[in-house]
């Protein structure tokens, strides 16, 4: 019985210590959010901060989200625009034509990528199941 009581007291003390650490951390965060410059560097724990050089290096490794992928001279949106600017094409026709002009897909299902652009970008219009740019001049 004494062991259980002693264990309870130890656990309760550990919880009090953890609460004190959390309250201290919350105070640091509140100070940082208040805009005190010295506190901003202490706001994020050191383990979670990434050194500036690492950020630049990681960004250099991956292509820009909206830029062309490695091996492609243009983005998929630009390629779709190129193949549909003279005449409207269906989804599968767009896929074939985009591949003919040299666009390479990194995905197993390139129609999903094409769908995302023709339906989601708002820059293409559906004309009887075929797609063309809304603004063919530019």
Number of Cβ within 10 Å of residue 81's Cβ equals 20
Average pLDDT rounded to a whole number, residues 124-135: 91
The whole-angstrom separation of Cα 20 and Cα 90 is: 64
The whole-angstrom separation of Cα 77 and Cα 67 is: 10
Q: What is the pLDDT of residues 73-101, one digit of tens each?
A: 889 999 999 999 999 999 999 999 999 99
- pTM reported for the whole predicted model: 0.51
What confidence score (pLDDT) does residue 72 get? 83
Q: What are the residue ranges spanned by the domains of the chain? A: 2-49, 76-133
DSSP string, the chain: -HHHHHHHHHHHHHHHHHHHHHHHHHHHHHHHHTT-HHHHHHHS-TTT---HHHHHHHHHHSPPTTSPPTT-SS-HHHHHHHHHSSS-B-HHHHHHHHHHTT----SS-HHHHHHHHHHHSSSEEEETTEEEESSTT-
Q: What is the pLDDT of residues 19-60, one digit of tens each?
A: 999 999 988 888 888 875 555 555 555 555 555 665 555 555
Gyration radius of the chain's alpha carbons: 28
Contact 83, 89 (CB under 8 A): yes
């Amino acid at each position: 019985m004494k062991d259980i009581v002693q264990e309870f007291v130890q656990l309760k003390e550990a919880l009090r210590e953890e609460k004190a650490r959390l309250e201290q951390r919350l105070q640091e965060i509140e100070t940082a959010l208040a805009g005190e410059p010295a506190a901003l560097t202490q706001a994020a724990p050191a383990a979670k901060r990434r050194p500036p050089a690492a950020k630049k290096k990681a960004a250099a490794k991956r292509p820009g989200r909206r830029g062309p992928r490695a091996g492609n001279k243009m983005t998929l949106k630009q390629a779709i625009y190129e193949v549909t600017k003279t005449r409207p094409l269906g989804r599968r026709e767009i896929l074939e034509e985009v591949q003919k002009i040299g666009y390479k897909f990194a995905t197993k299902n390139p129609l999903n990528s094409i769908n995302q652009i023709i339906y989601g970008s708002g820059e293409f219009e559906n004309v009887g199941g075929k797609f063309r740019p809304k603004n063919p001049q530019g």
